[in-house]
């Protein structure tokens, strides 16, 4: 058994020793690196061999036969020079690891015959020389083998083959000579070469490790690069998402303003033109309110899809938020192109949309501003386009408006009003007029609507149509409402008990509980019977924040006051709000009264709104009645209360008292 184990150990030992004499084939990258380092040293190796060969032949000239010291060295030197040249020429050629392996293996194999020939040759010179010459042979063999080990540092197997092939016969011959100096030389050379082989083995190991750690480093670098690439891709994707509207997949508001700046710089830097468009949907909110948000989403997605069909390299489409979209039209844009584009956009929007549970229709308004006709910055062009949109929407029908001189004047005027209002002494400059509300049957005044007036010492009398929106914008409206309500209640307290006060509230008055509470407090403080007050609210108040507005309205109702929905018919979501809010009255807008005797649609609208009011037990007041004819038609339709120039223009507080006194005497007389 023991014998068998010994044999097995012996065979593995032999196998390991043979492996040391072979070029390792397990690591192609290592082989390539080995080849690279080795190829630089091969010419030096042949140089050492040739010079040593020549030097030894020279010291043996005449002593040994010519074939040994002339012809053979000449042939060998020639072959070494040739091999050197081949290596030198092939130095820069790219090799695959397989080619490198083959060449290393060839060198490995070749090292054996070269070592044999050189050893045999030098030993064959020994019988011809004297002691000095023999010492040169010993020196030749020792120095050559050391030189070769050095040069073959990167081809461990060849170094070992050479060492064994040269040293073994050398040592034997040295010992057989019986000469102590030679024996000492033999032992010395063996010991030195053994040490060198150990250095070589450890060097080879270091080389291998260095190579491996460099590989690991390279792999780490590659991994890092890949990671960087992935991170870049991720941040690109984030950037894309940050600029994309997730619902419609159009570019978003942020991207719009970025592109606007780029397009503006381009246009302003090259005398180019640029049109900025802002689109707003009309009738979108009712879809959202009546059919739910998912239906609203479907509408927005569909419109986004339709709008993206007209986008090209000159025209880009964005979703700015809510039901608002943006357009950037670059290049040589003329006003005519913009109008055509606006019409196309309105056409696309107005096509009916399938929301699953049915078909709905919304319309669109578009406002445009054209650079360089107007605007000095990208932001300003956008604001002007937005103002043009506001104008389009004020006209209450879908269409395109391009910012022009008329709006420029309006906008200027708005700025003038704003400036004057900021520094206005509201207590001093504001006043109220009162317009009678008449009972049609009895032709008597049943109430007054309080209407604000502003006489500015700087810009004269300003219409509430102008200053109310500005005051709403800059927040002064809350103070205005308080001043006006206190005054209105003061006047109304002078009226007989059967006359009520109608007072306009702005959206601001309903958007916070504090503002509404303040109104309640003013009413309570005045001592005026809240049941004689009617607050007029508009749809915009409710559209902003429906929940808060309806809570505020509820608060006023609990106080005992009535609530009218003003300007009914001019908004979009009217019907829906009528259902949901605790209203008491509806004021049908004067625009439906104009030419009611000639316009069938106006007539029909008033008729159906009256029917709706009757069904919901709401009072109806028709505003803006100016003529006998209008009144007659309304009377036939069953209208009970009206307001308008026909019965009375807005009048001062004093005049209300005069009119009421007159009414009283007339009543007493009849």
Q: Point out which residues bind ligand C2E (CB under 6 A).
A: 435, 450-452, 463-465, 468, 484, 504-506, 536, 566-567, 590, 624-626, 643-645, 650
Helix (H, G, I), strand (E, B) or coil at 470: helix
CB of 626 to ligand C2E, least distance (A): 4
- Of 474, 561, 463, 467, the C-alpha closest to 516 is 561
Q: Which is nearer to ligand C2E, 30 or 484 (CB)?
A: 484
Q: Which is nearer to ligand C2E, 250 or 452 (CB)?
A: 452
Pick one of ligand C2E, Ca ion, none as the site partner of residue 464 (Cβ within 5 to 8 A by kind): ligand C2E
Cα angle value 667/669/670 (rounded, 5°):
70
Pick one of ligand C2E, Ca ion, none as the site partner of residue 619 (Cβ within 5 to 8 A by kind): none
Count of residues near Ca ion by CB under 5 A:
5
205: its two tokens: 């190991």
Judge whether 356 and 262 are in contact, CB under 8 Å: no
**Cα→Cα distances 240→34, 211, 244, 264, Å:** 49, 43, 6, 22
CB of 249 to ligand C2E, least distance (A): 40
CB of 576 to ligand C2E, least distance (A): 21
- Name beta bridge partners: 482: none
Candidates 112-120, 121-129, 499-507, 592-600: pick the segment binding Ca ion (CB under 5 A): 499-507
630: its two tokens: 């209008």
Q: Which is nearer to ligand C2E, 213 or 493 (CB)?
A: 493
Q: Which residues within the stretch 568-627 sit at the binding site for Ca ion (CB under 5 A)?
A: 623
Query: Taking CB under 5 A as the rule, does residue 567 contact Ca ion?
Result: yes
Candidates 111-119, 220-228, 311-319, 531-539: pick the segment binding Ca ion (CB under 5 A): 531-539
Query: Taking CB under 5 A as the rule, does residue 323 contact Ca ion?
Result: no
| Contacts for 423 with CB less than 8 Å, ≥ 6 apart | 458
Query: Taking CB under 5 A as the rule, does residue 566 contact Ca ion?
Result: yes
**Cα→Cα distances 164→49, 177, 444, 592, Å:** 17, 20, 136, 119
Pick one of ligand C2E, Ca ion, none as the site partner of residue 436 (Cβ within 5 to 8 A by kind): none
Judge whether 511 and 545 are in contact, CB under 8 Å: yes
Pick one of Ca ion, ligand C2E, none as the site partner of residue 612 (Cβ within 5 to 8 A by kind): none
CB of 339 to ligand C2E, least distance (A): 31
CB of 247 to ligand C2E, least distance (A): 35
CB of 521 to ligand C2E, least distance (A): 18
Can you tell me which of 536, 588, 622, 642 binds Ca ion, judged by CB under 5 A? 536
Judge whether 331 and 272 are in contact, CB under 8 Å: yes
Helix (H, G, I), strand (E, B) or coil at 318: strand
| Contacts for 526 with CB less than 8 Å, ≥ 6 apart | 486, 489, 490, 493
Q: Which is nearer to ligand C2E, 539 or 567 (CB)?
A: 567
Question: Within a 13 Å sphere around the CA of 382, how many CA atoms are in the beta-carbon half?
Answer: 18
Q: Which is nearer to Ca ion, 386 or 466 (CB)?
A: 466
CB of 569 to ligand C2E, least distance (A): 12
Query: Taking CB under 5 A as the rule, does residue 504 contact Ca ion?
Result: yes
| Contacts for 53 with CB less than 8 Å, ≥ 6 apart | 73, 76, 77, 80, 118, 121
530: its two tokens: 């809240």
- Positions touching Ca ion (CB under 5 A) are 504, 536, 566-567, 623
């Amino acid at each position: 058994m023991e014998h068998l184990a010994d044999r097995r150990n012996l065979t593995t030992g032999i196998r390991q020793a043979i492996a040391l004499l072979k070029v390792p084939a397990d690591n192609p990258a290592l082989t390539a690196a080995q080849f690279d380092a080795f190829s630089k040293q091969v010419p030096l190796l042949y140089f050492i061999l040739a010079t040593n060969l020549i030097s030894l032949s020279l010291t043996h000239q005449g002593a040994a036969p010519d074939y040994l010291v002339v012809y053979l060295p000449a042939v060998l030197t020639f072959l070494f020079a040739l091999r050197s040249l081949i290596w030198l020429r092939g130095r820069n050629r790219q090799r695959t690891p397989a080619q490198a392996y083959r060449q290393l293996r060839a060198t490995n194999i070749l090292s054996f015959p070269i070592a044999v020939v050189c050893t045999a040759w030098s030993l064959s010179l020994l019988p011809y020389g004297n002691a000095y010459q023999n010492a040169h042979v010993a020196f030749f063999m020792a120095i050559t083998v050391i030189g070769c080990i050095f040069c073959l540092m990167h081809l461990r197997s060849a170094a070992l083959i050479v060492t064994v092939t040269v040293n073994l016969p050398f040592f034997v011959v040295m010992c057989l000579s019986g000469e102590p100096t030679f024996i000492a030389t033999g032992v010395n050379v063996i010991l030195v070469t053994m040490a060198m082989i150990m250095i070589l083995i450890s060097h080879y190991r270091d080389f291998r490790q260095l190579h491996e750690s460099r590989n690991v480093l390279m792999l780490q670098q590659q991994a890092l690069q890949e990671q960087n690439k992935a991170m870049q891709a991720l941040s690109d994707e984030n950037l894309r998402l940050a600029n994309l509207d997730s619902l419609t997949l159009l570019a978003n508001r942020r991207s719009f303003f970025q592109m606007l700046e780029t397009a503006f710089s381009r246009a302003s830097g090259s005398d180019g033109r640029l049109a900025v468009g802002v689109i707003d949907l009309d009738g979108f909110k009712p879809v959202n309110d009546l059919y739910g948000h998912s239906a609203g989403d479907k509408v927005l997605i569909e419109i986004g899809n339709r709008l993206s069909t007209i986008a090209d390299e000159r025209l880009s489409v964005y979703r700015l938020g809510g039901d608002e979209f943006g357009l950037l039209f670059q290049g040589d844009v003329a006003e005519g192109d913009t109008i055509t584009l606006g019409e196309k956009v309105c056409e696309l929007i107005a096509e009916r949309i399938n929301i699953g549970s049915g078909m709905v229709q919304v319309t669109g308004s578009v406002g445009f501003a054209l650079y360089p006709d107007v605007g000095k910055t990208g932001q300003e062009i956008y604001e002007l386009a937005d103002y043009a949109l506001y104008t389009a929407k004020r006209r209450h029908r879908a269409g395109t408006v391009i910012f022009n001189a008329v709006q420029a004047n309006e906008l200027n005027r708005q700025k003038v009003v704003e400036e004057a209002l900021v520094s206005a002494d509201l207590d001093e400059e504001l006043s109220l007029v009162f317009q009678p509300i008449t009972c049609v049957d009895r032709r008597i005044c049943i109430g007054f609507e309080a209407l604000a007036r502003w006489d500015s010492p700087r810009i004269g009398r300003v219409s509430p149509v102008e200053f109310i929106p500005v005051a709403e914008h800059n927040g002064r409206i809350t103070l205005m409402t308080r001043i006006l309500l206190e005054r209105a209640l003061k006047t109304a307290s002078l009226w007989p008990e059967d006359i009520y006060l109608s007072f306009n509230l702005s959206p601001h008055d309903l958007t916070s509980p504090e503002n509404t509470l303040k109104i309640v407090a003013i009413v309570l403080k005045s001592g005026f019977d809240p049941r004689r007050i009617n607050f007029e609210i508009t749809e915009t108040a409710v559209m902003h924040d429906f929940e808060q507005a309806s809570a505020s309205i509820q608060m006023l109702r609990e106080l005992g006051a009535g609530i009218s929905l003003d300007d009914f018919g001019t908004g979009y979501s009217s019907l829906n709000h009528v259902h949901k809010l605790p209203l008491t009255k509806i004021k049908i807008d004067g625009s439906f009264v104009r030419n009611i005797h000639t316009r069938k649609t106006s007539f029909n609208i008033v008729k159906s709104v009256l029917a709706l009011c009757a069904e919901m037990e709401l009072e109806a007041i028709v505003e803006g009645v100016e003529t006998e004819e209008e009144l007659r038609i309304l009377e036939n339709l069953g209208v009970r209360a009206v307001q308008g120039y026909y019965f009375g223009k807005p009048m001062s507080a004093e005049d209300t008292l005069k009119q009421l006194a007159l009414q009283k005497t007339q009543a007493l007389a009849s």
